[in-house]
């Protein structure tokens, strides 16, 4: 029980009605504490009195009729902690007084009337609580505007005096020792009774005898407006938390602890009786995106399960009961705080948590995010109302202003109008599984995905492709991370912001293949430049197998070992919109016509083209006709055959036939102007296999033979269609293959990985 101390309140305008709490009840301190938690009061004060009578004394008689009434609303919103009282004003209603007194003595009669009505002008109203279990009231400055008229009639003479003044309307013998018990429950103070009231002066100043006793009916109602209770929701690490998943939809990844606190709006704790019976936790509007990332597990195996849940094991040490993956409640003695762990099952999970405190009196208070009253339920992770992405992640990536469906990466710059990589900011935030680990997309750079079924032999070529395109290349995908049947990299999407079904590509090795082949599907019934989504497959010959990549006779010895890597980069480039510098180069067969040939009508050795007509093959370095060298090689082959016969170890018939055929039949790849071999020689998209090219402005069909080791290998992407190096004009004896074909040869400006951008027709 608390100690009491006297409290006196003086007022120059009237008297005070005071309530003190004084109690020896075991629960007194508890009740007092609850009331002292109230921060304001409002209610009504009513008064009614009606008295009439006669009083005689000292030779005179008073005949009087007095009426008082008041029905006033008040608000007490100033709390004085040291005195445990509230002070306030009357805010509405009206008070009225009507007094009349007739005084007769000798030959004189004095009639006095007083009338007044209105809202009290300056009064203050007080409520005192404690120490103890009682209360008291007080009013100070209880005056209203009034008019007083006094009429005196003596021996036929009449005098009238009228004045206006404030007049008291409420007086009582209630004081600080008149107290009332606090209610057993609740915060409403309702009371009243008949109390003696003071005499209206100066109406009785002429009475010399005893004054009458007047009673008034007084009632009041105080409605406690305690600082309202509220529930504050505080997710730990909220500013920077983002969901993380395990490697399957059934196993939780990371957690966020959510704490709820019941308190008054002014920050004060609830009283014992105000504590919560329980806190209810509910996950709402939770995402159910397939899988755990955009590509894992593969479509068809991915499950649409709740991405945020209350995990039973993770919450095993907390006083909460789970009623399912999205329903839980706290338990125990009445409490003012409770916590729960929310577990993530998806890298792009989103949802909301609603926390409701259920009070002992049945009230339900829904919680809001600390510092944001309108934020209820609380969004998980911390994000904008129109976003599924954690604010902290966006901030860390410099993408705070980017909408979830944004796909506008400009780097690296490529084809005009082909911004983005087909993946929205949300998809890059949710991320992908590569080589068994989670990765994110690059919001500033275009992403490209490769399923490399070739293995280490293709790695250097992929590195070269990455270097020349400057794309964000993800090359370590496994077969359960990108399907060969459908290479879509973002297939796991239900309600996620998505622009297009974006694809990766896969590379495979084929034993009997010579070189490399990128298979592009038609688009709109016509052949087009490549896109990842139009690329059926990229096939390569084995690195060390026989084929065009292992017999590049015209490359230098330094370039020959790198041809396979350049070819990998070349084929990958087809899948992102790059094309050859032209089309039409091909192998052509020539025949050495020896003098002994019955069809020879020239009487000398010569070279015949496919139609049988003579052609001239010239050494590029000297301009000399190469027929002498070629015919000499044929004669040397004959001498070798004869020498083996003379030595007694003749060649078998098949070997001899092959040697004779090779000497007589010549196979060359002809590089024509503005075809595959044309344009900038530094570019990986230019062919480097030609062994001859046609002589320009020749009256007869003539070709220059390419000297071995002089055909350059490109390691870059070109940004000009003009010929460089061996293709530059002018050149001696002439440019080999000239500039690229029309609308070709600016490969750096043709890169496009976005499946949302329609491809250009192949030309």
- CA nearest 266: which of 29, 21, 2, 36? 36
Bond preceding residue 733 cis, omega within 30 of 0: yes
Question: Distance (Å, rounded) from C-alpha 117 to C-alpha 120?
Answer: 9
The predicted model scores a pTM of 0.76
**560-579 pLDDT per residue, tens:** 999 999 999 999 999 999 99
Which segment of 58-67, 169-178, 259-268, 545-554 scores lowest on mean pLDDT? 169-178
Q: pLDDT-derived band of residue 196, with 50, 70 and 90 as boundaries?
A: confident
Query: What are φ and ψ of residue 88, in 5° steps?
Result: -165, -170
**662-692 pLDDT per residue, tens:** 999 999 999 999 999 999 999 999 999 999 9
pLDDT at 165: 67
CA dihedral of residues 224, 225, 229, 230 (deg, nearest 10) = 170
How much is the CA Rg of the chain, to the nearest whole Å?
Answer: 51
- The SS3 assignment for 548 reads coil
**603-647 pLDDT per residue, tens:** 999 999 988 999 999 999 999 999 999 999 999 999 999 999 999
Q: Between 89 and 728, where is the model more confident?
A: 728
Average pLDDT score, the chain: 89
**123-165 pLDDT per residue, tens:** 788 898 887 888 988 887 667 888 888 888 988 787 777 777 6
Query: What are φ and ψ of residue 503, in 5° steps?
Result: -125, 160
Q: How far is CA 660 from the centre of its chain?
A: 74
Residue corresponding to tokens 């510092």: 371
Judge contact between 288 and 249, C-beta under 8 A. no
Q: Between 397 and 187, where is the model more confident?
A: 397
Question: Distance (Å, rounded) from C-alpha 561 to C-alpha 568?
Answer: 13
Q: Is the pLDDT of residue 320 over 90?
A: yes
Question: Distance (Å, rounded) from C-alpha 730 to C-alpha 696?
Answer: 13
Q: pLDDT-derived band of residue 201, with 50, 70 and 90 as boundaries?
A: low
pLDDT at 286: 98
pLDDT at 176: 58
**34-52 pLDDT per residue, tens:** 787 787 888 999 989 998 8
Question: Distance (Å, rounded) from C-alpha 242 to C-alpha 390?
Answer: 6
pLDDT at 760: 85
pLDDT at 167: 64
Q: Which residues, at least 6 apart from 736, have a Cβ–Cβ distance to it below 8 Å?
A: 671, 677, 690, 693, 704, 706, 726, 727
- The SS3 assignment for 474 reads strand
Judge contact between 594 and 600, C-beta under 8 A. yes
Question: Distance (Å, rounded) from C-alpha 613 to C-alpha 606?
Answer: 10
Q: pLDDT-derived band of residue 713, with 50, 70 and 90 as boundaries?
A: very high
pLDDT at 14: 32
Cα distances from 696 to residues 589, 673, 693, 732, 738, in angstroms, run 20, 10, 9, 12, 11
In the chain the domains, ranked by start, together with CATH numbers, are 28-226 (no CATH), 229-392 (2.60.40), 425-574 (no CATH), 586-629+665-743 (no CATH)
pLDDT at 224: 80
Query: Tokens in use for 97?
Result: 């007084």
- What number of residues does the chain have? 763
Question: Distance (Å, rounded) from C-alpha 420 to C-alpha 753?
Answer: 8
In DSSP notation, 477-536 reads: --TTTS-SS--BS----SSS--SS--B-EEEEE-TT--SEEEEE--BTTB-B---GGGEE
pLDDT at 701: 92
CA dihedral of residues 547, 550, 555, 558 (deg, nearest 10) = 160
**pLDDT cut 90: percent of the chain above it:** 66
Q: Between 200 and 447, where is the model more confident?
A: 447
Q: Is the pLDDT of residue 536 over 60?
A: yes
Judge contact between 17 and 138, C-beta under 8 A. yes
Question: Distance (Å, rounded) from C-alpha 15 to C-alpha 20?
Answer: 16
pLDDT at 219: 92
């Amino acid at each position: 029980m608390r100690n009491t101390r006297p409290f006196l309140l003086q007022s120059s305008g009237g008297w005070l009605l005071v309530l003190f709490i004084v109690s020896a009840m075991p629960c007194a301190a508890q009740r007092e504490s609850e009331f002292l938690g109230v921060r304001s009061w409002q209610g009504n004060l009513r008064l009614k009195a009606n008295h009439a009578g006669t009083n005689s004394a000292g030779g005179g008689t008073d005949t009087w009729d007095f009426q008082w009434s008041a029905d006033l609303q008040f608000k007490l919103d100033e709390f004085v902690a040291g005195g445990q009282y509230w002070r306030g004003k009357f805010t509405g209603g009206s008070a009225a007084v009507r007094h009349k007194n007739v005084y007769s003595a000798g030959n004189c009669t004095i009639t006095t009337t007083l009338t007044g009505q209105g809202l009290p002008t300056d009064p203050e109203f007080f409520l005192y609580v404690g120490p103890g279990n009682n209360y008291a009231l007080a009013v100070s400055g209880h005056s209203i505007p009034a008019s007083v008229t006094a009429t005196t009639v003596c021996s036929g003479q009449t005098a009238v005096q009228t004045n206006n003044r404030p007049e008291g309307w409420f007086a009582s013998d209630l004081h600080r020792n008149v107290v009332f018990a606090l209610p057993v429950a609740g915060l409403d103070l309702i009371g009243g009774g008949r109390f003696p009231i003071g005499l209206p002066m100066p109406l009785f100043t002429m009475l010399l005898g005893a004054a009458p006793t007047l009673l008034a009916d007084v009632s009041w109602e105080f409605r406690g407006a305690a600082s309202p209770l509220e529930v504050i929701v505080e997710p730990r690490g909220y500013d920077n938390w983002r969901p993380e998943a395990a490697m399957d939809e059934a196993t939780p990844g990371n957690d966020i602890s959510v704490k709820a606190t019941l308190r008054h709006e002014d920050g004060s704790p609830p009283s014992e009786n105000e504590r919560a019976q329980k806190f209810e936790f509910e996950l709402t509007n939770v995402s159910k995106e397939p899988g755990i990332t955009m590509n894992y597990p593969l479509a068809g195996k991915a499950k649409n399960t709740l991405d945020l849940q209350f995990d039973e094991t993770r919450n095993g040490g907390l006083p909460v009961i789970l009623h399912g993956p999205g329903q839980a409640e706290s338990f125990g003695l009445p409490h003012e705080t409770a916590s729960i762990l929310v577990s993530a099952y998806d890298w792009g999970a989103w949802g909301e948590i609603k926390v409701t405190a259920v009070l002992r009196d049945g009230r339900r208070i829904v919680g809001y995010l600390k510092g944001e009253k309108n934020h209820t339920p609380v969004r998980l992770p911390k994000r904008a109302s129109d976003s599924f992405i954690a604010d902290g992640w966006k901030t860390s990536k410099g993408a705070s202003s980017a909408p979830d469906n944004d796909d506008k990466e400009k780097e690296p710059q490529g084809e005009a109008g082909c911004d983005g990589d087909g993946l929205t900011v949300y998809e890059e935030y949710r991320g992908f599984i590569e080589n068994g680990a989670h990765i994110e997309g690059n919001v500033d750079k275009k992403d490209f995905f490769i399923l490399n079924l070739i293995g280490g032999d293709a790695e250097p070529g992929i590195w070269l492709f990455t270097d020349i395109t400057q794309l964000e290349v993800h090359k370590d995908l496994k077969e359960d991370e990108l399907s060969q049947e459908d290479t879509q990299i973002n297939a796991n999407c239900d309600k996620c912001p998505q622009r297009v079904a974006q694809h990766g590509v896969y590379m495979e090795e084929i034993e009997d293949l010579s070189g490399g082949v990128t298979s592009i599907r038609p688009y709109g019934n016509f052949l087009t430049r490549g896109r990842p989504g139009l690329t059926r497959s990229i096939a390569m010959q084995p690195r060390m197998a026989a084929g065009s990549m292992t017999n590049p006779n015209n490359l230098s010895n330094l370039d020959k070992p790198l041809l396979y890597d350049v070819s990998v980069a070349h084929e990958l480039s087809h899948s992102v919109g790059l094309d050859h510098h032209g089309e039409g180069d091909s192998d052509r067969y020539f025949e050495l016509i020896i003098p002994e040939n019955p069809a020879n009508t020239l009487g000398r050795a010569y070279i015949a083209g496919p139609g049988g007509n003579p052609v001239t093959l010239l050494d590029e370095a000297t301009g000399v006709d190469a027929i002498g060298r070629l015919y000499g090689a044929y004669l040397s082959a004959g001498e070798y055959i004869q020498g083996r016969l003379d030595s007694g170890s003749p060649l078998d018939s098949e070997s001899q036939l092959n040697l004779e055929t090779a000497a007589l039949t010549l196979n060359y790849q002809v590089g024509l102007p503005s075809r595959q071999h044309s344009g900038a020689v530094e570019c990986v998209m230019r062919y480097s296999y030609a062994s001859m090219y046609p002589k320009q402005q020749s009256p007869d069909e003539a070709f220059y033979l390419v000297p071995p080791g002089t055909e350059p290998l490109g390691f870059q992407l070109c940004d000009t269609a003009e010929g460089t190096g061996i293709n530059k004009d002018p050149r001696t004896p002439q440019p080999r293959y000239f500039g690229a074909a029309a609308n070709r040869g600016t490969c750096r400006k043709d890169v496009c990985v976005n499946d949302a951008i329609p491809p250009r027709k192949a030309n």
